[in-house]
Chains A and B, each alone.
Chain A
Amino acid sequence: MSAVGKWLPSGLFGRGKTFARGIHPDSHKDTAGLAIRRLPFAPEMIVPLSQHIGKPAIALVQAGQEVVRGEPIGRADGFFSLPVHAPVTGVVRAVEPRMTASGAMVTSVVIHTHPSSDQQVLYRTPQDVAALSGKALIQAIQDAGIAGMGGATFPAHVKLAPPEGAVIDTFIANGAECEPYLTCDHRTMLEQPNDVIAGVRLAMRACGAPRAIIGVEDNKPDAIRALRAALRPEDAITVEAVVTKYPQGAEGTLIYALLGREIPIGQRTSAIGALGSNVMTLAYIGRLLHVGEGFIERVVTVTGPGVARPGNYLVPLGTPLRFLLEYTGAHGNEREIVLGGPMMGPAIASLDVSITKGTSGVLVLGAAEIATRSARSHPCIKCGECVQVCPKGLNPSMLGMLAAQRDYDTMVGHYHLDECFDCGCCSYVCPSNIPLAQQFRIAKGVLRKRAAATP
């Protein structure tokens, strides 16, 4: 909170629920009015066995084997892992390392889609979710292979399992979708509000929360209306509008906006009695659990000046990016392709990676958008803009100068580098064009490696 803002009740001057600092980038949510459409099945699917944070799945299939859509092709390796299901009916051609969006080679199941299959989901084990206990629900969510779809790809069941002794009083459903360009969560809330609410109910039971709040940025009033209409009188669920501001959808900022509680440094949200999940993740929990199907497709926003037919597509997980771009009409003049939103999404080096569980968007930028980014970098002029936007209350100006000197220990020890979560606000505003967020990522990477090397 800013010094003055601390004494102002939120809602004063009609400002609504929000957090301190942050930025207001152009929203570019041009696809918000475009209904979700199904993408055709690509002739070849590349399904990485690790599409989440945690241990990779263990392959259950081998080359030459036939698989049906929805069948498990990889099983979870322990609690901190997720199974993987076949996105199409077809033949496994290989189980081999393939490139993923991060650039790493990951063992992947390559499936040739059966051209004459009607691609119905044939593999399912329906269950009575109403009868499941909290623990059994957690297990069911893991079995469905659901990873957080907001971008971090943390296994959903791990997030929903409160640590021993923690009391969760509020479950937070994150429908902020604060990244510019992305509208897949918006469309999901609008078109499938019942799935979202069903997911929230299950999540509340899984983590034992007596009430839930769905936080949606106030630029999506139609989604808020749709969700409210889907509520039943007995639901202890409220839908609240939060101010449209980046990074409103970061977990800490959204919880603060809705509950006024800060996650203490170095702790998890359960420490302040809250757990959260992204709304699309919840929609899939609500839809897949009772029919007992695996998570095999998701909504992806394909947008940016480089595509002819932008929109929200229901994309089978494992669809190669090249196929997606061909179908949506990439002009061939794309200069940069980002998976996810423009603030935090990684740019990809190759079109041969596939859409995975965490891919919320494909943003195709042309030469014009890149040219608007000044090429020239100046020394820090200490304008203090970064300090005024950092949602974590850090001093990126100082951190940047320390990073230039590679004084990583001071960055952590005195300037709380650990709290930085790569939101990129500092880089966004920096008039000197200093790649602050990048410097911090490098610093954190070096420190991680150093910590791993010295046990």
Chain B
Amino acid sequence: MMNQTLNQTPKIELRTSPHIKSGRTVEQIMRNVVWALLPITAFSVWQYGLSALLLIVTVTATCLATERFMNRVMLTGNTLSDWSATITGLLLALTLPPSYPLWMGVVSGFVGIALGKFLFGGMGFNVFNPALVGRAFVQAAFPVSISTWTPAFAPGRFSGLIPTTLTAPLMTPPDIAYWAKHALDGFTGATPLARWKFENVLATPQDFLTGAVTASAGETSAILILLCGGYLAARKFMDWRIPVAVLGSAALLALAFHVFSPVRYPEPSFVLLSGGLLLGAVFMATDMATSPVTPWGVWIFGGIIGVVTVVIRYFGGLTEGVMYAILFANSLVPMIDQYTQPRVFGSLSGQRKGKKA
């Protein structure tokens, strides 16, 4: 009778070993990055009000729509479910100023996904971080809007929009200096980096940690970014070595400059906390597809980003250097990987001479 049961076995599957899997999937990794970005997004909305909310929703929706559109065009099958386009959308929105005109946000989202991702062949094949490609494009295309800053915690931020938000497509946004001054007394319209660079005024670490500074939508709360990044690192959805390398190298270089000339150069803590360095180090440099795979490679990659960021900030024409530093390091990844291949077990260079036992 048992024999019959076995004979009737409908099918046994033939697969090759290994027959067990760790259970980690791309979807799980990406979904967790989205979860980690949500608190930062929520804080940004609380800080900047309705305009920030509209911008984030618009940019993310654009990224998702572009992804779907490119799926159709390139016949790749639906890749929305891998969550990577959602990450790109959220990250891109968080790097834009809260007052950013929505139509420009749409342009950046489309460029990020279409040019930054699908032109290379889709997820995993892209050389550059798609969110940063989108941002770099609009920084070049609309330089004024991307450096138009509005005050955080302005009263009335939930009852109305920043005037520039609803600028009609292809129109120049209105000047909001007057509006911003009314929105919050004493508002200067410059980020802490710009104020340091052009006016030599330093913001305090307390301002940075609580987010009470002027910046892009998601760059402001250091504590939140570190907490969310810590979650990802603890659950191994993110390579902790990259942010450590970025922040470490930036801090070391800044410290060297500060020791050389304390008057001319700010303390390392200012460099670490200002601008987009934290957000970039934790969420953008760690993008798996555009960072090295080798253990040594990630340290070098992070180190390059930290150093280039500081160099651009101190000596470049721009106030902020994180974006270009990451894009630059992205372009070096194939070479870094090439030269940091792990040592193969049994290759003579690393042969241990001593006998342990």
Contacts and interface: CB of A to CB of B under 8 A. Distances in A.
Given A378-B123, A424-B17, A335 B12 contact: yes
Q: Name the residue among B12, B25, B290 with the largest chain A CB count within 10 angstroms.
A: B12
Interface string B1-32: 01101101101111111111111111011000
Interface string A129-157: 00000000000000000000000000000
Contact of B12 (A180, A258, A337, A416): A337
B16 A332 contact: no
Contacts of A23: 22
Q: Name the residue among B123, B341, B354 with the largest chain A CB count within 10 angstroms.
A: B341
A422 to B, nearest CB: 7
Given A382-B124, A387-B294, A419-B346, A336 B13 contact: yes
Interface residues of A, number: 85
B84 to A, nearest CB: 8
A39 interface: no
B350 A392 contact: no
Contacts of A348: 12, 14
A25 interface: yes
Given A6-B350, A260-B357, A416-B344, A431 B20 contact: no
B345 A392 contact: yes
B3 A326 contact: yes
B293 A395 contact: yes
Interface stretch (A104-112, A198-206, A221-229, A432-440): A432-440
B262 interface: no
B124 A378 contact: yes
B346 A264 contact: yes
B18 A342 contact: yes
B346 A252 contact: yes
Dominant SS at the A interface? loop
A380 interface: yes
A325 B16 contact: no
A347 B19 contact: yes
Contact of A264 (B18, B239, B292, B348): B348
A3 interface: yes
Contact of B8 (A261, A332, A378, A432): A332
B25 A433 contact: yes
Given A384-B293, A387-B294, A387-B295, A262 B12 contact: no
Contacts of A435: 16
Contacts of A332: 5-6, 8-9
A428 to B, nearest CB: 5
A393 B342 contact: yes
A264 B347 CA distance: 6
Nearest to A350: B12
Given A1-B350, A259-B356, A260-B356, A372 B125 contact: no
B289 interface: yes
A388 B295 contact: yes
B338 to A, nearest CB: 9
A369 B12 CA distance: 13
A154 B350 CA distance: 29
Nearest to A372: B23
B240 to A, nearest CB: 12
Interface in A330-379: 330-332, 334-338, 342-349, 351, 363, 365, 369-370, 372-374, 376, 378-379
A419 B347 CA distance: 10
A424 B298 CA distance: 24
B6 to A, nearest CB: 6
A342 B17 contact: yes
B352 A262 contact: yes
Given A10-B356, A387-B342, A431 B19 contact: no
A391 interface: yes
A398 interface: yes
B9 A428 contact: no
A1 B11 CA distance: 43
A343 B25 contact: no
Interface string A1-43: 1110010001000000000100101100000000000000000
Interface in A256-282: 256, 258-265, 267
Contact of B351 (A262, A343, A344): A262
B207 interface: no
Contact of B2 (A326, A347, A384, A395): A326
A213 interface: yes
A333 B134 CA distance: 52
A260 B352 contact: yes
Contacts of B314: none
B344 A428 contact: no
Given A334-B9, A337-B12, A213 B123 contact: no
B293 A346 contact: no
B16 A393 contact: no
B294 to A, nearest CB: 6
A286 B39 CA distance: 65
A394 interface: yes
The 10 closest A-B CB pairs, nearest first, are A260-B356, A424-B18, A379-B124, A384-B293, A332-B5, A342-B19, A393-B342, A383-B288, A438-B16, A343-B18
Interface of B: 2-3, 5-6, 8-9, 11-26, 28-29, 82, 121-125, 239, 288-296, 298, 337, 341-348, 350-352, 354-357
16 contacts: A23-B22, A256-B345, A260-B352, A265-B347, A322-B3, A322-B6, A332-B9, A335-B11, A344-B17, A348-B14, A374-B21, A381-B289, A382-B293, A392-B344, A394-B344, A431-B25
Given A262-B345, A379-B122, 12 more contacts: A260-B355, A265-B347, A267-B346, A326-B6, A338-B17, A342-B20, A347-B15, A347-B19, A382-B124, A382-B289, A383-B29, A398-B293
